[in-house]
Structure 1
């Protein structure tokens, strides 16, 4: 504790942070020690409230229901993010291209499309990605793993999000509505691309030739023209392809494997 110009301050001995209120200082000190351990696993927390929220992972408790669709969540912040999928509210905007998002973490990931930061690398082919989930999905293009299956038609998918989107083909659900016209879509990315037809926006540019695209995935595919990258491998022979559609067409040439069908990731 120090007295500066008649004002008492509290300094942390570990990180040297300075606080003007004793209560704030006491709360800060718990960051360096975690006195609230989980009785089920090895996790520990600096605040009792954090442990209570964590325990819901073990108990399955989800006390926050959506009043629109009934989906339940373990944390209020997750419910608030979910509700925005119904209201189409997007409070987090990109200062570079104007794209808007329902969650701050979505904005942070999006910013990597502008900065070019791709911290997640594939150990098989060296491809790098801006999001860890994208890397996991990519690795399945090498392994062929498709762990998510449709309960209605049996089609399998490498990502659960793709399975959920596919299920809407059976249910006819189109929860993503355009605010400009009456169109609605089964997937958020389809809505985003549709809106750009109204605005004419093409925020993704090729640094090599200047070509512009409405979605980042189109830019990624386009870049393979310049890099020669072929990340999609045939598991029957050694052929490699830059697009999943090319791989699918190639697979069909293996007449002895007529029943084999690889769907796009």
Structure 2
């Protein structure tokens, strides 16, 4: 076995003049040299993509043809690259071979680990040339750039809505399918977003992590704290375009606008009365039930 290895090493007679790399075959050396020269001789006829390897071009062409030759035998997932299937299989096996040496986090992909490490180092190597925004991952910068270009490449086939992120499209599709994958184990509450479930759980735990530094008021949602702070700052960011009225909440502005439009969307099922506010309908219904509220 040792003689075989020595013989193979001797046969690596094609050496790179730029670095210490050497190869068994001349074709391998030619491919390697493109790393130094930046040469990308394989070009796509449909877009501006080019690559240094023919195999990379073959994979790229699948983005145009939609071909996905690698399929998961467990769930039917398919993808364009064999490496992509290998990564996908870890969602079934639970394997996370890339571990952080600083904390206990582990990942299915090396690129995710590299991005995570930057949360410890604070490194943000990717910068936006338009506004100076910087981030730790290239994919995050790509998504950020869409705030400048307005590009929304992910389109809903049902209603035509488009989104800058695939994750937003996935969430949107649930408005069509009615899917609510996040379930409260205590009361059975269902929701479409994981963050909504986290907020809901606070109704059971009583947790109120958001606190006012002026008066000590605390609440379960950051949006509630933002609205509360307007009591102190007297900020009223929602203004009526018809009169000079302004409000701390958008919902209050919506109700106010009905005084101009005359809209009364809350109707009584027992008579012809209708109201601009739901609370007014509730009070009115008590005239039919014979159960008047306090002070009526």
Report the TM range for the smaller structure's normalisation: 0.5 to 0.7
1:67 to 1:188, Cα distance in 2 relative to 1, 3 A: farther
Q: 1:79 — aligned with what? A: 57
C-alpha distance in 2 between matches for 1:180 and 1:163: 29
Q: 1:163 to 1:137 in 2, by over 3 A?
A: same
Cα deviation for residue 180 of structure 1 reads: 7.1
Q: How does 1:150-229 map to 2 (within 5 A)?
A: 150-176=128-154, 182=160, 184-188=162-166
How much has 1:62 moved relative to structure 2?
0.6
Partner of 1:139: 117
Change in Cα spacing, 1:169 to 1:145, as seen in structure 2 (3 Å) is same
Native 8 Å contact 1:45 1:51 kept in 2: yes
Task: Quote the residue 2:80 is aligned against.
Answer: 102
Quick one: distance in 2 between partners of 1:187 and 1:117? Answer: 26
**Partners of 1:86 and 1:175 within 8 A in 2:** no
Which deviates further from its counterpart, 180-189 or 166-175?
Answer: 180-189
| C-alpha distance after superposition, 1:71-123 (max 9, x if no partner) | 21111221222232333332222222222212111111111121111111111
Which aligned pairs between 1:17-96 and structure 2 lie closer than 5 A? Answer: 33-96=11-74
* 2:99 counterpart of 1:121: yes
Query: Which range moves more in the overlay, 119-128 or 170-179?
Result: 170-179
Contact 1:63–1:72 (CA under 8 A) maintained in structure 2: yes
Which runs of 5 or more residues in structure 1 are unaligned? Answer: 1-12, 16-28, 204-212, 226-244, 250-265
Q: Deviations over 1:202-226 (max 9, x none)?
A: 99xxxxxxxxx999xx7xxx9xx9x
Q: What is the number of equivalent residue pairs in this alignment?
A: 191
Q: Rg: which structure is higher?
A: 2
From the superposition, tell whether residues 37 and 31 of structure 1 become closer, same or farther in structure 2 (CA, over 3 Å): same
Looking at structure 1, the residues matched to 92 and 69 of structure 2 have their Cα atoms a distance apart, in angstroms, of: 19
Distance 1:111 1:88, change over 3 A: same
Distance (whole Å) between structure 1 residues aligned to residue 134 and residue 76 of structure 2: 35
Tell me if structure 2 keeps the 8 A contact 1:30–1:47: no
TM-score with structure 2 setting the length: 0.52
Q: Specify which structure has the bigger relative contact order, considering alpha-carbon pairs within 8 angstroms and separated by 6 or more residues.
A: 1
Q: CA offset at residue 193 of structure 1?
A: 6.4
Cα–Cα, structure 1 residues 95 and 151, in superposed 2: closer, same or farther, change >3 Å? Answer: same
CA RMSD of aligned residues (A): 4.0
What are the superposed Cα offsets for residues 11-36 of structure 1, whole Å, 9 maximum, x if unpaired?
xx749xxxxxxxxxxxxx86994232
Query: In 2, Cα distance between the equivalents of 1:31 and 1:94?
Result: 38
